Structure 1
C-alpha cells in the first residue's frame, strides 16, 4: 500500500506540472498507477480523480490570467462532456488496442509536424483577436472528438487539444491553452463519474495523489504565465516521443 503512494505521488506531481504547460500529463500519471500493479480499469479511474483535482486548479489559474472566453469555454465543455461520456462507456466494454494502433501513426507524424513547422503554436495577440464562426465550429468538433478519446483512453489529450486548437481552429496559443484546461476538466469529471458508477476507483490513493497534482498544476500554470508559449513546443515534442516509445513497448511486450 505504501509502495503505491511512493511511486504514484511524485510522478503525479510531475504530470501536473507538465500538463499545465503543454498537456500530456496523463502520459506520466497513468503509467505511474499501472506500475504499482493496480488493474488497468482501476488505474484509469483513480487517475481521473487526481487529474480532475489538478486540472481544476490549472483551469482557475488560466481563467484568472484571462486565457478563457466564457461562451467558447461553455460550449466546448458541453460537447466534450458528451464525447467523454461516450468514450468512457466504450472503455468499460472494449480494449484500447485500436486507439493504440492509430497512435502509432499519429504520434510520430505530429512530432515531425512540430519539428518541421516553426510557426506551430505561434502566439497571436490574444486581446486583439475576434473569434470567427469557423473557429467556434472547429473548436466544438475538436472538443467532441478529443472528449471521446479522453473518456476511452486519455493520455496525451491535453497535448492533442493544444495542437488541434492552434493548428485547425487557429486559436491564439494562450486562448487554446485556457480552453484546453476547460475541456480537460469537463472530460475528466465526466469520465470520473462513469468510473465511479462502475466502482473502479481507489479513493484514498486518488485523493492523496490529487493533492500532489494540485501542487504540480499550480506551479506549472504559474510557469506558463511567466514564460509563455515558448516552452510549450519543446515540451510537447518530448511528451509525444515518450508516448510513442511507451505505445510501441505496450505493443511488443
Structure 2
C-alpha cells in the first residue's frame, strides 16, 4: 500500500496507546487497534500482521512492569511462554484450514459467559485459591491451546488466559493478569513470525503503534497494580461484553448472514 499519511499515523498511535492501557489490565486491545487500522485503509492481512507487531510492544511492556513489581517471575514462566508461542505458530500456519466461521459463531457467547462468570462470582479477588491443575499439565494443554486460538483467530485471547489462570491455576485476579501478559507476548510472537514469513507486516505503522502500546501498557499496568481486582474485574467484564458486541456487529458474522440481518 502507499505510504500512510502523518495524521493517520498519529491517530493510530493514540489508538494503540488506549489499546495498550486497556489490554494491560483486562485484555481486548485488538478490538481497538484492528478496526483502527482497517479504517486507516490498511488491507485485512496486513492489518493482522501489523497488529501482531504492535501487540508485542504492549504485552512486553506490561510483562516488564508486572515482573519488576514481583507479580510474575519470568524465569519460572518461560516454559509457558514457549508453549504459547508454539501453539500460536501452528494456529497461524493452519489458519486457512481451521473452520474460522465456527470460531466466529461461538466467540461472542463465550465472551459473554466469561463476563458473567467474573461479574457474578463474588469470591474472585487478588488472593490465590486452590489449584485444580498441575503446572506441567496446565503448560502442555491449556497454554498451547489458547496460543493456537490466538494464531487462528485472536480476539478474546487475554480473557481466555485470565479465565484459565483463575479457575484452573487458582491465581488471584492481579496475578492472573500479570501472567496473562507474558503468555500474550508468547502467542503474539509466534503469530508475528509467521506473518513476517508471509511479508504482510507494515513496519512503519507497527513500530509507531508499538511505541503507543508500550506507553499505554506502562500506565495501565500501574493502574492495575494499584487497584487490583477492584478495577480488573469490572474492566474485564466490560471488555469481554464490548468485544462480543464488536464481533456481532460485523455484517459478515455467520449468525448475521444466516439470519439475514
| Structure 1 length-normalised TM | 0.90
Partner SS state of residue 29, structure 1: helix
Per-residue deviation at 1:153? 1.7
Report the counterpart of residue 30 of structure 1 in structure 2: 34
Gaps of 5+ in 1: none
- Structure 1 residues 114-193: aligned runs within 5 Å: 114-120=118-124, 122-124=125-127, 134-193=134-193
Q: Which string of whole-angstrom CA distances, capped at 9 and with x for unpartnered residues, describes residues 120-143 of structure 1?
A: 3x2116xxx897862552354221
Question: How many residues are aligned here?
Answer: 249
Report the counterpart of residue 98 of structure 1 in structure 2: 102
Asked whether 1:110 is paired with 2:114, we answer yes
Q: Which string of whole-angstrom CA distances, capped at 9 and with x for unpartnered residues, describes residues 94-120 of structure 1?
A: 663221112032122222222321223
Per-residue deviation at 1:44? 0.7
Q: Which string of whole-angstrom CA distances, capped at 9 and with x for unpartnered residues, describes residues 215-235 of structure 1?
A: 100111111122122101110
In the aligned structure 2, how far is the partner of 1:67 from the partner of 1:158?
17
Structure 1: 4+ residue segments shifted above 6 A: 129-133
Contact 2:109-2:244 at 8 Å conserved across structures: no
Per-residue deviation at 1:212? 0.6
Partner SS state of residue 91, structure 1: coil
Distance 1:93 1:208, change over 3 A: farther
Report the counterpart of residue 230 of structure 1 in structure 2: 230
Instruction: Tell which deviates more after alignment, 129-138 or 240-249.
Output: 129-138
Distance 1:66 1:173, change over 3 A: same
Structure 1 vs Structure 2 CA RMSD: 2.2
